[in-house]
Amino acid sequence: MKWGIIGAMDSEVELIKSSLTDSTDLSLGFVTFTQGKYKNEEIVICSSGIGTVNAAVNAQLMIERFNVDCIINTGIAGAADDRLGVMDVVVSSEVIYHDRAEDPYTKFPPYKISFDANKALIERAEKAITQLHGKAPMVGRIATGDVFVTDSALKASIVEKCHPLCVEMEGAAIAQVAFMNSLPFIIVRTMSDSADDEGAETYDNFFAVAAQRSGEILLKMFEMGSIEL
């Protein structure tokens, strides 16, 4: 099985990249894709850059050039649900664009703004997180938009509209590309902040350790071997 892994920033993929053996790099445009092995599992990983366009372009490149069997979007996010705190983990059941309206986007391909994650990948992530942290993660909707949410009023409007567990800037774009290529996907995000007025300061304090936690989860998933998708 060949796992495709995308993080927006170098810090979100650093742990996994440094854990690979027999790795090789291929630069495509502004992004370097690293291919290697971890515990007999084949891994392709890249840092796509921030935002939906960067995420979508590099997800498509990964699918076309490396023929991955699934895509996992890893990294950090801002907590939108009051039950979540910094360093808690969210696994996607679905992902939705919070900055797109149903009309007109649902009238044109791919006729939707939300995308369902793969159930087998959800179960694998839940198992890995439970083994690592002693408790199951929250599983639910993640909301994506091209804005770093550090404003309580904006957060409230997103929550009212979409009711997500957390917010980030790449997941729905990766999910849309996966959907359009009939490829399974999942999003695994660790909370670096609460996406509110104090979000920028909290992010600065926790983004590195939160990104590493997401990386540790993926390594545990790989250790469990290939799965039927």
- Give residue-wise pLDDT tens across range 57-90: 999 999 999 999 999 999 999 999 999 999 999 9
Task: For residue 7, give the nearest of 222, 214, 219 by alpha carbon.
Answer: 214
In this structure, what token pair is assigned to residue 218? Answer: 């993926």
pLDDT of residue 196: 75
Domain annotation for the chain: domains and CATH numbers: 2-223 (3.40.50.1580)
Catalytic one among 42, 193, 196, 216?
193
In the chain, DSSP assigns E strands to 2-7, 21-28, 31-38, 41-47, 70-79, 89-97, 114-116, 138-144, 166-168, 185-193
Nearest 5°: CA angle at 178, between 61 and 34?
A: 40
Task: For residue 189, give the nearest of 132, 137, 119 by alpha carbon.
Answer: 137
Helix (H, G, I), strand (E, B), or coil: what is residue 63? helix
pLDDT of residue 202: 67
Model pLDDT for residues 108-119, shown as the tens digit of each residue: 999 999 999 999
- Cα–Cα distance between 229 and 219 in angstroms, integer? 18
For the question of residue 193 being annotated catalytic, the response is yes
pTM tops 0.85, yes or no:
yes
Catalytic one among 12, 42, 168, 170?
12
Which amino acid does the sequence have at 156? A
For the question of residue 116 being annotated catalytic, the response is no
Flag residues of the chain having pLDDT under 50: none
